[in-house]
Amino acid sequence: MNSIWQNETEMPEFPSLDRDMKTEVLIIGGGIAGILVAYFLQQKGVRYVLVEKNRICSGTTGHTTAKITLQHGLQYSKLLHGFGRERTWKYLTANRQAMGEYEKLCKNIDCNFERKDSFVYSIDDRGKLEREMEAFHKLGYDARLCGTPSLPIETVGAVCCPNQAQFQPLKFLTALVKDLNIYEHTFVKEMRGNEAVTGNGKIRAEKVIVATHFPFINKHGSYFLKMYQHRSYVLALRAASGMNADMQVNGMFIDEDKKGYSFRNYGDILLLGGGSHRTGKKGGDWEELRQFVKTHYPGAEELCAWAAQDCMTLDNVPYIGRYSKCTHELYVTTGFHKWGMTGAMVAAKLLCDLVTGEENDFMDVFSPSRNMLKPQLLVNGFEATANLLTIAPKRCPHLGCALKWNKAEHTWDCACHGSRFSEEGKVLDNPANGDLS
């Protein structure tokens, strides 16, 4: 199902690769992260090629709720505990700088960029909010604790980060890609060192950046152990008889609980998110959201519905940098944990510095080779083992896990690593790098 951004934006089309070529940097993946890397490399005069197996922005980028914020759930109290103050401050600063980069770029692009306050609320645990406030104060950031009078549900309060932003992502990217060196419908079947093998040609690159949402090269980095994927659902709503003031939430809101709801306005339209679950597991999907609408927005008209899929890391911080310790000219960006807008900008700036040999203060925070000893690692291992031992009519070609039928979306989904396939077996979401046999 198309998102509201896709319904109102016609993305430029690019040719498919039909020959062998050489380049300085190869970028695999045409979502917002890959496109921003290409844009900044072009600004620096670096030779590059970006290849996308389908159409650019047809995956998670086209299905985002497009919030540009440094507030990523109740993240900072957790990071202070696990990372310490210096690295947590770097994480905050990197995302703050990313917001500034968006504002500079959006000044000359008609993409509905607007400043909005961001809120993380809780329906039952004010203590969590207070601990997050303490973390912000230790980092010298001016957040505040407040109520949520514009929401249709009762909460115990919210942590507010003022002056964040939201925009129309595909309008933004349409302006950015016009002069970039992009090939669509160019599927990288395999990597042989720094040579990418596609259906109609080979690309030899000095350096390769994998920006394919979930990394598809299994022999390096152990991403199949240190990530899983999570699906969430969105409805675009309008009051049936013109705008209802009760549907204006006056900010960007998200529940601190993964199973809660998110709210933001796009003009007179309310974007309601929720129904989320680990890919391959059961969840509320759109039906849960539609029941919520019946109760809290009974006059609303549903304009469209869509779903997004996000890569979740062991510590909720993206992996950006060298693909692994032993791959010096192979790089990756992944694991944005539902915050792909600021994450993609952080990744683009960091990766551009890496491939051009410039210093970047944030490399240690986002390094994919950081400590893996986190509780989530055990959960991921258990899920993989349980699915490998499950008898099922279809198995994922990625690493052989059992596929589960997703009746809401009519797809075959993998609970191990999040690959998804159409009813006919066509791959929809990686890390699987091919269709079902």
Do 281 and 177 belong to one domain? no
User: Does residue 386 form part of some domain?
Assistant: yes
Confidence of residue 149 (pLDDT cuts 50, 70, 90): very high
Do 357 and 407 belong to one domain? no
Do 201 and 300 belong to one domain? no
User: Does residue 72 form part of some domain?
Assistant: no
User: Does residue 29 form part of some domain?
Assistant: yes
Do 140 and 46 belong to one domain? no
pLDDT on residue 216: 92
- Rounded Cα distance between 2 and 45, Å, is 35
- Give the DSSP letter string of 98-144: HHHHHHHHHTTS-S--EEEEEEEEESS-HHHHHHHHHHHHHTT---E
3-state helix, strand, coil in the chain (%, to 5): 30, 30, 40
User: Does residue 102 form part of some domain?
Assistant: no
Query: What would the mean pLDDT of 222-248 be, rounded to a whole number?
Result: 85
Taking the CA of residue 94 as centre, how many other CA atoms within 13 Å lie in the half-sphere pointing to its CB?
A: 27
pLDDT on residue 384: 81
pLDDT on residue 100: 97
- The three-class DSSP label of residue 197 is strand
Do 155 and 254 belong to one domain? yes
pLDDT digits (tens, 9 = 90+) for 177-193: 999 999 999 999 999 98
Please provide the average confidence, as pLDDT, over all residues in the chain: 94
Burial class of residue 406 (count of CB atoms within 10 Å of its CB; 0-12, 13-18, 19+): buried
pLDDT on residue 60: 94
pLDDT digits (tens, 9 = 90+) for 15-48: 999 999 999 999 999 999 999 999 999 999 999 9
Do 128 and 29 belong to one domain? no
- Rounded Cα distance between 109 and 176, Å, is 9
Total number of domains in the chain: 3
Do 259 and 379 belong to one domain? no
CA torsion through residues 384, 389, 390, 391, sign: positive
Boundary of a domain, candidates 297, 312, 327: 312
pLDDT on residue 386: 82
pLDDT digits (tens, 9 = 90+) for 126-137: 999 999 999 999
pLDDT on residue 385: 85
Confidence of residue 244 (pLDDT cuts 50, 70, 90): low
| Contacts of residue 248, Cβ cutoff 8 Å, sequence gap at least 6 | 150, 265, 270
User: Does residue 256 form part of some domain?
Assistant: yes
pLDDT at 248 over 90: yes
**What CATH number did the domain enclosing 273 receive?**
3.30.9.10
Would you state the structure tokens that stand for residue 394, as one six-digit string?
């279809």
pLDDT on residue 241: 56
**What CATH number did the domain enclosing 394 receive?**
2.102.10.10
Closest C-alpha among 348, 387, 393 to residue 366: 348
User: Does residue 123 form part of some domain?
Assistant: yes
Do 60 and 22 belong to one domain? yes
**Structure-token match 């990597």, residue found:** 191
User: Does residue 21 form part of some domain?
Assistant: yes
Do 280 and 320 belong to one domain? no
**What CATH number did the domain enclosing 12 receive?**
3.50.50.60
Boundary of a domain, candidates 293, 312, 331: 312
Closest C-alpha among 373, 252, 335 to residue 33: 335
pLDDT on residue 72: 97
Do 233 and 340 belong to one domain? no
Do 143 and 268 belong to one domain? yes
- Rounded Cα distance between 113 and 115, Å, is 7
pLDDT at 272 over 80: yes
Do 153 and 269 belong to one domain? yes
CA torsion through residues 99, 103, 105, 109, sign: positive
Would you state the structure tokens that stand for residue 156, as one six-digit string?
């115990």
- Rounded Cα distance between 82 and 13, Å, is 44
pLDDT on residue 380: 85
Confidence of residue 246 (pLDDT cuts 50, 70, 90): confident
pLDDT digits (tens, 9 = 90+) for 352-408: 999 999 999 999 999 999 988 888 888 888 888 887 888 888 999 998 999 999 999
User: Does residue 275 form part of some domain?
Assistant: yes
In the chain, the percentage of residues whose pLDDT exceeds 70 is 99
pLDDT at 263 over 80: yes
Boundary of a domain, candidates 312, 330, 351: 312
CA–chain centroid gap for 2, Å, is: 17
Q: By residue range, what is the domain housing residue 24?
A: 4-64+170-224+315-366
In the chain, the percentage of residues whose pLDDT exceeds 90 is 86
Query: What would the mean pLDDT of 148-171 be, rounded to a whole number?
Result: 97
| Entry pTM | 0.95
pLDDT at 295 over 90: yes
pLDDT at 242 over 70: no
- Please give the C-alpha separations between residue 270 and each of 7, 23, 149, 392, 406, in angstroms, as whole numbers: 16, 44, 16, 40, 26
